[in-house]
Amino acid sequence: MTLIFCISVLMFIDRVNISIAAKYIMPEYGLSDVQMGWIFSAFVLGYAILQVPGGRLGDRFGPRWVLAGAIFWWSAFTAVTALAGELFLTGIIGVVGSFIVVRILIGEATEETVAGFDEEIAVIEANLDDMNPQIYGYFLEKALAAGALDVYTTPVQMKKNRPGTLLTVLCKPQDTNTLMSLIFAETTTFGARTYRAQRRTLPREFLKVATAFGDVRIKISRANGRILHVAPEYDDCRKLAVEKSVPLQRVISEALRAYEAGGKTH
């Protein structure tokens, strides 16, 4: 009678576990009833192999306790499998999927990039409306000597309808404080503002050409392998114009003519 009862309980638990599995595992991973039956049977067989070898537990506790233990372990294993299977298998599939789903894009740029490089610079500005014009040239020389990349002025209309001058200094970010102090010391402004900007410069190279007045350096810039700009160095042309007592424009023209003719010394 006890054996029949235990078998009935076993069949009932089997249906419960199959129902749980049908809800949580089978639809998700496409397992059939037969496949789930094999999974549950494997757990029972594993219990029989591991827990009752040679009938030692039966000899010690009796067949009823062995059967009851089988029902308990079988139910525990299948229930845990049904309830935790989805999370476990989902985790495994998720890990595997993270390695399987890899996207690689291979292509070529549709536009040619301009040769050169980008750098961050600082821009310092100050509005002036009461400074002696003679100071501007003096300040420019001191600012360039202090590390400024460029200094220039722009006419502006200021408050109270007065004409003024916008002083702009370009520098490296680490030189900002030095040049701000110079602006306050050498100009009449009560305030200055600063912000960061991006600058792109073309690669430059220099070569020297021979003219009837002397050697002149030529500055050349390129982009994508093409020469974009050619300019004689101003300081060289000015020096020769003064030494030879000739117009500056004539020296510049001779330098360009020598470059186009290929008359470079090195």
Domains of the chain listed by start with CATH number: 2-100 (no CATH), 117-201 (3.30.70.1380), 204-260 (3.10.20.300)
β pairing state of 117-128 and 150-158: unpaired
pLDDT of residue 109: 58
3-state class of 127 per DSSP?
Answer: strand
How far is the C-alpha of 143 from the C-alpha of 207, rounded, in Å? 29
Task: For the full predicted model, state whether its pTM sits above 0.85.
Answer: no
Please return the burial class of 175, using the count of CB atoms within 10 Å of its CB with bins 0-12, 13-18 and 19+. Answer: buried
Q: List per-residue pLDDT tens for the chain, 266 residues long.
A: 454 455 455 555 555 555 555 555 555 555 555 555 556 555 555 555 555 444 455 555 555 555 556 555 555 555 555 555 544 545 544 444 444 556 677 776 554 544 556 788 999 999 999 999 999 999 999 999 999 999 999 999 988 888 999 999 999 999 999 999 999 999 999 999 999 998 888 888 899 999 999 999 999 998 887 888 999 999 999 999 999 999 999 999 999 999 988 745 44
User: Would you call 122 helix, strand, or coil by DSSP?
Assistant: strand
The β-bridge partners of 168 are: 125, 152
Structural contact between residues 101 and 42, judged by C-beta atoms closer than 8 angstroms? no
Residues in CB range of 220: below 8 A, 6 or more apart: 204, 205, 206, 207, 227, 229, 230
Order across the sheet with 214-223: list the strands. 204-211, 214-223, 226-232
